[in-house]
Amino acid sequence: MAKETMPTPGGDKEWAYLGSRAFQSRYALAAWQLEDVDHIVEIGGYRTPITGFVRTPKKSVTVIDPHITPLSAETLLGQPCKVRHVPAFFQDWKEYPESYGLVLLGLDFELYEVSRKLRAEILDQFVPVVRAASRIVMEAATDWTASRWLAGWVEKTTGYRRSLDLVIEMQGDLGVDLSNSWPPLRKRHLIVLDR
Ligand X SMILES: C[S@@+](CC[C@H](N)C(=O)[O-])C[C@H]1O[C@@H](n2cnc3c(N)ncnc32)[C@H](O)[C@@H]1O
Nearer to ligand X, 4 or 80 (CB): 4
Task: Report the distance separating Cα 1 and Cα 179, nearest Å.
Answer: 39
Give the dihedral sign, CA 27/80/59/45: positive
**Cβ at position 57, least distance to ligand X in Å:** 23
Counting Cβ atoms within 10 Å, is residue 180 exposed (0-12), middle (13-18) or buried (19+)? exposed
**Binding residues vs ligand X (CB under 6 A):** 9, 15, 18, 43-46, 48, 64-67, 89-91, 105-107, 109
Task: Report the distance separating Cα 76 and Cα 73, nearest Å.
Answer: 8
Nearer to ligand X, 18 or 83 (CB): 18
Nearer to ligand X, 99 or 146 (CB): 146
In DSSP terms, 61 is beta-bridged to 40, 83
In DSSP terms, 13 is beta-bridged to none
Nearer to ligand X, 161 or 164 (CB): 164
- DSSP, res 195: -
**Cβ at position 6, least distance to ligand X in Å:** 7
Q: Give the pairing type, strands 187-194 and 161-169.
A: antiparallel
Nearer to ligand X, 24 or 79 (CB): 24
